[in-house]
């Protein structure tokens, strides 16, 4: 597989960042900068450019922004692709691969022009600038999709592209550890961050495998009060669109199908599954068992103390809602004191499922 022509550098004109006059302490919450950090974590050299002359105050702001995110800050004498590309070639002569240069189309549509080129050993730009070397975008959120498309076109159709969706904080934690590289890996894997800001169907045209954290997209859960687990789960509109696409297209492999996550939404179901650990015990080894547990519908139950005793539970115990994840109060814990003279027992938690070892 030829890796040299993969996208290895991205330069974004500062006018596309929509930072206005915000203060440096607010840069971390800027969605555009978060998008560019994904490139950086994938070892794609990333820079913010500006065309001279620019006020010293603006330059200082851009340099502060770039330093905070480990981007480069690249001054150019002109924004036109033919001139800018040669200046970029001199600065980034060490980069072997394709470079993207993104500029705003002021008062025009599409709103963004993405010019791509590569640099030869003599620092000359190897691609002439004509329409075939330009891609037009309406939103900067299209950038990862554009990179994915260019990489597959330049390298090989044998690449396996994994499209993934999860909340930004979780995604960034993984990306910092080298997971989800947008650049192709030596074994032919490439990751594409999916976004609900764009039509899902268009993004999935580039995807072979879907990896999702569906519990990040849950807005409501209703558990059946009967002993038999059943669920009514409300997802965000974006997740519903993704779910419909998965159901209607069998050519895309889904990691962790939605119906496989249902048991982990219910702590009672989890406990029942853990009971199977006792079947794994082998003589002469440490015994493994599930924690003792009890489902409680109300702390006002008259026989609660006896039920706790029968379940081999004693205070203090961990008490949590039956819904295990996906909603705001799934991990809620409170500290209520039960004063039963002469001892003070502490009950940790909120309601429903409790257990101790």
Same domain, 212 and 275: no
Same domain, 163 and 33: no
For position 27, what pLDDT does the model report? 53
**What is the rounded distance in angstroms from the CA atom of residue 271 to the CA atom of residue 260?**
16
For position 225, what pLDDT does the model report? 57
Same domain, 315 and 183: no
For position 280, what pLDDT does the model report? 79
For position 350, what pLDDT does the model report? 36
| 3-state SS track over the chain | CCCCCCEEEEEEEHHHCCCCCCCHHHHHHCHHHHHHHHHHHCCCEEEEEEECCCCHHHHHHHHHHHHHHCCEEEEECCCCHHHHHHHHHHHCCCCCCEEEEEEECCCCCCCEEEEEEEECCCCCECCCCCHHHEEEECCHHHHHHHHHHHHHHHCCCCCEEEEEECCHHHHHHHHHCCCCCCCCCCCCEEEEECCCCCCHHHHHCCCCEEEECHHHHEEEEEECCCCCCCEEEEECHHHHHHHHHHHHCCCCEEECCHHHHHHHHEHHHHHHHHHHHHHHCCCCCCCCCCCEEEEECCCCCCCHHHHHHHCCCCCCCEEECCECCCCCCCCCCCEEEEEECCEEEEEEECCEEEEEC
The whole-model pTM stands at: 0.80
Same domain, 122 and 240: no
**What is the rounded distance in angstroms from the CA atom of residue 279 to the CA atom of residue 347?**
31
Q: Which residues does the chain have with pLDDT short of 50?
A: 1-3, 20-21, 128-129, 227, 334-353, 357
Q: Is there a domain that residue 170 lies in? A: yes
* Domain count for the chain: 3
For 244-255, write each residue's pLDDT tens digit: 998 888 788 888
Same domain, 83 and 26: yes
Q: Is there a domain that residue 142 lies in? A: yes
* Beta pairing, strands 134-137 & 160-165: unpaired
Query: In this structure, are residues 295 and 304 in contact, taking their beta carbons and an 8 Å threshold?
Result: no
Same domain, 173 and 225: yes
For position 123, what pLDDT does the model report? 53
Same domain, 191 and 295: no
**What is the rounded distance in angstroms from the CA atom of residue 357 to the CA atom of residue 355?**
7
Q: Is there a domain that residue 232 lies in? A: yes
Same domain, 36 and 141: yes
Same domain, 46 and 136: yes
Q: Is there a domain that residue 163 lies in? A: yes
Nearest to 50 by CA among 80, 85, 76: 76
Same domain, 228 and 148: no
Q: Is there a domain that residue 334 lies in? A: yes
Q: Which domain holds residue 173?
A: 156-263
For 25-71, write each residue's pLDDT tens digit: 555 557 788 889 999 999 999 999 999 999 999 999 899 989 988 99
Query: In this structure, are residues 146 and 136 in contact, taking their beta carbons and an 8 Å threshold?
Result: no
User: Of 203, 229, 263, which residue sits at a domain end?
Assistant: 263
Residue 247, classified by CB atoms within 10 Å of its CB into exposed (0-12), middle (13-18) or buried (19+), is: exposed
Same domain, 175 and 126: no
User: Of 154, 186, 210, which residue sits at a domain end?
Assistant: 154
Same domain, 294 and 160: no
**What is the CATH classification number for the domain harbouring 196?**
3.40.50
User: Of 154, 185, 213, which residue sits at a domain end?
Assistant: 154
């Amino acid at each position: 597989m030829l890796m040299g022509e993969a996208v290895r550098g991205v330069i974004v004109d500062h006018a596309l960042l929509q930072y206005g006059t915000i203060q440096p302490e607010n840069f971390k919450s800027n969605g555009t900068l978060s998008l560019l950090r994904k490139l950086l974590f994938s070892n794609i050299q990333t820079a913010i450019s500006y065309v001279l002359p620019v006020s010293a105050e603006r330059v200082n702001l851009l340099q502060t922004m770039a330093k905070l995110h480990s981007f480069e800050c690249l001054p150019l004498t002109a924004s036109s692709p033919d001139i800018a590309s040669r200046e970029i070639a001199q600065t980034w002569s060490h980069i072997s691969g394709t470079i993207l240069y993104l500029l705003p189309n002021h008062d025009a549509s599409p709103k963004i022009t993405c010019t791509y080129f590569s640099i030869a050993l003599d620092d000359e730009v190897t691609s002439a600038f004509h329409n075939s070397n330009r891609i037009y975008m309406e939103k900067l959120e299209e950038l990862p999709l554009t990179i994915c498309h260019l990489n597959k076109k330049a390298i090989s159709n044998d690449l396996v592209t994994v499209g993934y969706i999860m909340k930004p904080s979780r995604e960034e934690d993984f990306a910092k550890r080298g997971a989800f590289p947008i650049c192709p890996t030596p074994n032919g894997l490439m990751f594409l961050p999916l976004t609900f800001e764009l039509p899902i169907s268009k993004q999935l045209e580039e995807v072979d495998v879907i990896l999702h954290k569906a519990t990040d997209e849950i807005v409501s859960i209703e558990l059946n009060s009967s002993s038999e687990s059943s669920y009514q789960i409300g997802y965000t509109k974006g997740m519903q669109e993704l779910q419909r696409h998965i159901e209607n297209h069998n050519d895309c492999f889904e990691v962790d199908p939605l119906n496989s996550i249902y048991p982990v939404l219910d702590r009672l179901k989890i406990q029942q599954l853990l009971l199977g650990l006792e079947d794994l015990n082998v003589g002469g080894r440490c015994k493994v068992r599930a924690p003792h547990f009890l489902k409680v519908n109300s702390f006002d139950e008259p026989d609660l103390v006896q039920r706790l005793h029968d379940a081999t539970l004693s205070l203090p115990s961990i008490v949590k809602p039956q819904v295990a994840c996906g909603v705001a109060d799934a991990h809620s814990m409170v500290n209520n004191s039960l004063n039963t003279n002469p001892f003070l027992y502490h009950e940790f938690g909120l309601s429903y499922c409790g257990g101790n070892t």
